[in-house]
Chains A and B, each alone.
Chain A
Amino acid sequence: MQFKSMVLSNVEVSPSYFRMRMTAPPAISGSQPGQFVMVRVNPAIDPLLRRPFGVFDLGTFETEFTDCGRQSYLEILYKVVGKGTAMLSTLHQNDHLDILGPLGKGFIPGDPAGEKLLVGGGVGLAPLYYLAKELVRDSKVNLFAGGRNKEDVLCITEFERLGVETYVATDDGTLGARGLVTDVFEEQLAKAGPKATILACGPFPMLKAVALLAEKYNVPCQVSLEAYMACGVGACLGCVVKGKNHSDSTPDYRCVCKDGPVFDSKDLLWS
């Protein structure tokens, strides 16, 4: 669906990372964790294209007027990396946005009896929060969060409040273990039960490392990819990744926007 939205809050939660809450139609509650929205930052032609953001959280609040019932909201967590996100970060309460979504295929929770191993890097933690919120109802959830430094590791307290057991690693050791999150993850993965599932979101090299570990320990793994995209609906073919059967003579390109952003790690070509 396509809808007009009003900014409710837009707060810098860590240097250059913002958490934005905005109004959404009630149907937004049907979003699957891992799905994303395409946000048009302003109605002008610069920036021209929408920006994709994973759904960080959803909920409802009581409106200040009586008889209006509860209003749905949507939250995104974003990092200021370029023109579009810089403009987004200057928006205030009551500013307007045009949103397309929820889009794409989300995470499949799998057997609730199995433990859920969430792996997130930097802003890749965003869609994992809504996922964790859904998963903790029925399953044990562990989160492995990584970043370059403590400022990249976001909203850990929120995850802990959900009852998620968290493990953190940073490149410079300013929070948690020093080193790669995938090293911390592997220690725990080796001890995981037979029904465990890995659900990961972050930069491509991290996802690749996670996918290889999943293969090594034979644990099912879903990864959520990031990509530059223009349309979000499978038309521009700008966001493609190589599928497992890809070769130059038999192309197997998958659209991150439509076939993903969440893929079974075995469906992608990682080399």
Chain B
Amino acid sequence: MTKPNLSVDIAGIKLRNPVMTASGTFGYGAEFAPYLDLELLGAIVTKGLSMKPKAGNPTPRIVETPGGMLNAIGLQNVGIEAFIAEKVPFLRTVTTPVIVNLYGNTLEEYGELAGRIDAIPEVAGIEVNISCPNVKQGGIVFGTDPQAAFEVVSLVRRSTTKPLIVKLSPNVTDVVVMAKACVDAGAEALSLINTLTGMAIDLQKRRPILANITGGLSGPAIKPVALRMVWQVAKVVKVPLIGIGGIMSATDALEFILAGATAVQVGTANFLDPSSAGTIATGIETWLEENGVADIRELIGALKS
């Protein structure tokens, strides 16, 4: 039997298979090279990048919860200059497409940063994190207001010709409204979901466990929510979707594809097992072979209902 086709296209980026790494869980790629052949991946999405280096939040920054974890890292990152000087040279050594996740504290910063990344030939595409507060406008979160999301995505779209993915927050009343606003503004693909806001409490100390009080919930606990949102959005937008949320196995990944995702991102699983993204990619191929599916694309949105 011939090998099944696993390759998919996201906003013009050719992926050898649908398995990407989720931003913030895979460093800048190099951290995982000792544990995983990076050439097994569909794409690498790097840690959320800002114009200036960002210190991040005080500790404790993470806490485990049943079936998941909360994080409040605070977007600690090296900033664009160090990214270009220190991280890009390694990324040049892998053939796997590299997608840079970026965020800004103001509208202008998103545009400026997208422009800088546009000039880096090693970067195959941009993923915009809109789950950040706009410090110039009373801290309103770009990703929870359709008009603010439209504006920020429009500006990024004008600032770069690279393929543009927007990462959606689940902390909204209606994710479909946000999805439409981002596509209207020029997003060529959507990734969903970012973490769900949550908190954990230490009863004896009568205090929140995280120094930041609240954090983002990830891991298997959020998978049902993520599947539901991918399925909802897939019904109304035409751009490819990237499913994210608690994917630990090839089975989980394939469920997202059935729900309407063209690709997936593996996040928290990288922490448990640094080789998991590769294992999931090969597991998908095995499943397709065992189930006589010649092309992964046959499964996209093929959920029976």
Contact = CB atoms under 8 A, between A and B. Distances in A.
Given A2-B35, A48-B219, A236-B25, A231 B274 contact: yes
A238 B73 contact: yes
Most chain B CB within 10 A, of A98, A233, A234, A236, is at A236
A248 B60 CA distance: 17
A230 interface: yes
Contact of A234 (B31, B55, B219): B31
Contact of A237 (B56, B67, B272, B273): B56
A50 interface: yes
B214 interface: no
A235 B25 contact: yes
Contacts of A49: 64, 69, 271-272
Nearest to A231: B271
Contact of B62 (A46, A228, A251): A228
Contacts of B272: 40, 48-50
A65 to B, nearest CB: 30
A236 B71 contact: yes
Contact of B55 (A227, A236, A251): A251
Contacts of B110: none
Contacts of A40: 272-273
Contacts of B59: 227-228, 238-241
Given A2-B275, A233-B31, A240-B59, A46 B71 contact: no
Interface string B216-242: 000110000000000000000000000
B32 interface: yes
A100 interface: yes
Interface in A229-271: 229-231, 233-241, 246, 248, 250-251, 253, 258
Contacts of B35: 2, 100, 233
B25 A46 contact: no
A240 B54 CA distance: 13
Interface string A137-178: 000000000000000000000000000000000000000000
A40 to B, nearest CB: 7
Interface in B189-208: none
State which size class the interface on A falls in: 20 to 34
A236 B56 contact: no
B214 to A, nearest CB: 15
B90 to A, nearest CB: 13
Give the interface residue-count category, chain B.
35 or more
Interface in A41-64: 45-50
A236 B62 contact: yes
Interface string B64-76: 1011110101001
A236 B31 CA distance: 10
A43 to B, nearest CB: 10
Interface string B266-291: 00101111110000000000000000
B31 A235 contact: yes
Contacts of A47: 64
Nearest to B29: A235
A241 B60 CA distance: 10
Given A48-B219, A48-B268, A49-B69, A233 B64 contact: no
Contact of A230 (B26, B66, B69, B275): B69
Contacts of B133: none
B59 to A, nearest CB: 6
Given A230-B62, A253-B55, A253-B56, A237 B274 contact: no
Contacts of A258: 31
B63 interface: yes
A170 B62 CA distance: 32
Given A236-B73, A238-B61, A251-B55, A48 B32 contact: no
B146 interface: no
Contact of B76 (A48, A100, A237, A241): A237
Nearest to B72: A238
A156 to B, nearest CB: 30
B304 to A, nearest CB: 27
A230 B274 CA distance: 11
Q: Which 3 A-B pairs have the closest CB atoms?
A: A251-B55, A238-B62, A231-B271
16 contacts: A2-B274, A40-B273, A45-B248, A47-B64, A49-B69, A49-B272, A227-B59, A228-B62, A231-B271, A233-B27, A235-B274, A236-B25, A237-B61, A240-B56, A251-B56, A253-B56
Given A2-B275, A230-B69, A237-B61, 5 more contacts: A50-B271, A228-B60, A233-B27, A238-B62, A241-B59
